[in-house]
Every structure is written in structure tokens, then in C-alpha cells.
Amino acid sequence: MEDDNDFVRAIKVKMLMFGPLAEKMGTREIDVSLIEGTSVEELAERFELLEMISSGLRVAIDGKIESDVSRLLHDAAEVAFLPPVSGG
């Protein structure tokens, strides 16, 4: 008999993109299936956004800005990628 710990669990998150990033990605919203235990950094890496994060792209999880890219994502999380705001 197999132990429940032998199974990989999946989660689903919704990615939201704004501004130039939405134009680059060709959409404002993507539903993504991930393995439980995936971090913000791993999600960003999957979509080639890590360099943009180091250049000022901010991340919000469920409406709250998150500065720790090692934070693990949870099922049904809403992950928004926010471009730097400029103006004067």
C-alpha cells in the first residue's frame, strides 16, 4: 500500500500581468498548474521574469506586495507582476 506522502500534489495559481509585461506576454492573465512547494522565484523563472524582478518588477500575492521571492505559493493564489511606476 502506498503512503500519501509518495504523491506529488498540484496547485493552481492565477498570474496577472500589467503594463508592458502584459503586452510582452500577449495576455493579462494566465492560469498555471504547479507542484505544491513552488516558490515565487520558480514561477518567475518558468516565465523568464527573474531578470525583470531584479530590475524593479514587483510581485503581489493575493493583493499584498511580496519582497521575498523564496515565498512558497499556495493553491488558488493570485500572483500579480507589477512593473515599476514612473511619472513626475
Q: What pLDDT digit, counting tens, does each position of 11-70 carry?
A: 999 999 998 899 989 999 999 999 999 999 999 999 999 999 988 999 999 999 999 999
Ordered by start, the domain boundaries in the chain are 8-82
81 contact partners, CB below 8 Å, separation of at least 6: 15, 16, 17, 18, 21, 44, 49, 52, 57, 58, 59
The correct CATH number of 8-82 out of 3.40.50.720, 3.30.499.10, 3.10.20.30, 3.40.50.1370 is 3.10.20.30
Q: pTM of this prediction? A: 0.86
Residue 39 grid cell: 516558490
pLDDT tens, position by position, 57-84: 999 999 999 999 999 999 999 999 999 8
pLDDT score of 54 = 87
Q: Say which residue, 3 or 77, is predicted with more confidence.
A: 77
